[in-house]
Amino acid sequence: MSRVQKHLNFPKELYEAIEEYRKENMVPTFASAVYELVRKGLKA
């Protein structure tokens, strides 16, 4: 899979929610957590 690099600024509350998701689901990186959440959102 090719990747496109993007720089994103997250509101603090959203960043904290993603970090909480990452830790609770033992996701290794912040980027991986964002990928998972986006994929789940797109499937919904």
Q: What is the pLDDT of residues 5-29, one digit of tens each?
A: 999 999 999 999 999 999 999 999 9
Res 27: pLDDT: 98
Residue 7 within any structural domain of the chain: no
The answer to whether residues 21 and 33 touch, using CB atoms and an 8 Å cutoff, is yes
Residue 3 within any structural domain of the chain: no
Residue that is written with structure tokens 């994103």 in the block = 8
Res 9: pLDDT: 96
- Structural domain count of the chain: 1
Residue 22 tokens read as 């990452």
Residue 5 within any structural domain of the chain: no
Residue 25 within any structural domain of the chain: yes
Res 16: pLDDT: 98
Residue 40 tokens read as 């789940």
Q: Is the pLDDT of residue 1 over 90?
A: no
Residue 31 within any structural domain of the chain: yes
Residue 18 within any structural domain of the chain: yes
Instruction: Write out the residue range of the structural domain in which residue 23 sits.
Output: 12-43
